[in-house]
Amino acid sequence: MLKDNEDFYNRLENQLLESSEWPNLYMFKFILKSDNKNVIKLKTLFKEIDTEISTKLSSSDKFTSVTIKAKMKSPSLIIKKYKLAAKIEGIISL
């Protein structure tokens, strides 16, 4: 993984630790090409967690936005989910 990504994840984890008590509800947002296989891969990453998942197609139907609200136990688990999601081809984390 690139050093810049690792720095980003470290900063995010520290911000989350300082700003909230854990466990807490966290909202993940992703954009990916409208490929059902990749959307299923993303949803599978969160299957063991109590989640609310919503999807929305772009106006051109080329992209799908995925919002996942999940009860997360700690910032380190949030970072872990982001890193797993980053392995999905063409995904953008917001």
Q: pLDDT digits over 18-61, tens only?
A: 988 999 999 999 999 998 899 999 999 998 888 999 999 999 99
pLDDT, tens only, 58-77: 999 999 999 999 999 999 99
Average pLDDT in the 77-89 region? 94
Tokens for 1? 């993984």
The parent domain of residue 54 ranges over 3-93
Structurally, how many domains does the chain consist of?
A: 1
pLDDT at 3: 58
Per-residue model confidence (pLDDT) at position 79: 95
Between helices 75-85 and 3-19, what is the axis angle to 10°?
150
Q: CB count, 10 Å around CB of 81? A: 19
Residue that has been written with the tokens 């891969």 in this structure: 41
Q: Is the pLDDT of residue 78 over 60?
A: yes
Confidence band for 1, pLDDT divided at 50, 70 and 90:
very low
Q: What is the CATH number of the domain that holds 57?
A: 3.30.70.260
- The DSSP-derived string for 19-63 is H--SSEEEEEEEEEES-HHHHHHHHHTTTTS-EEEEEEE-TTSSE
Report whether 54 contacts 94 (CB < 8 A): no
Q: Residue 49: its pLDDT value, please?
A: 85
Q: Hey, what are 63's tokens?
A: 């992209």
- Cα distances from 38 to residues 12, 14, 53, 83, in angstroms, run 25, 29, 14, 15
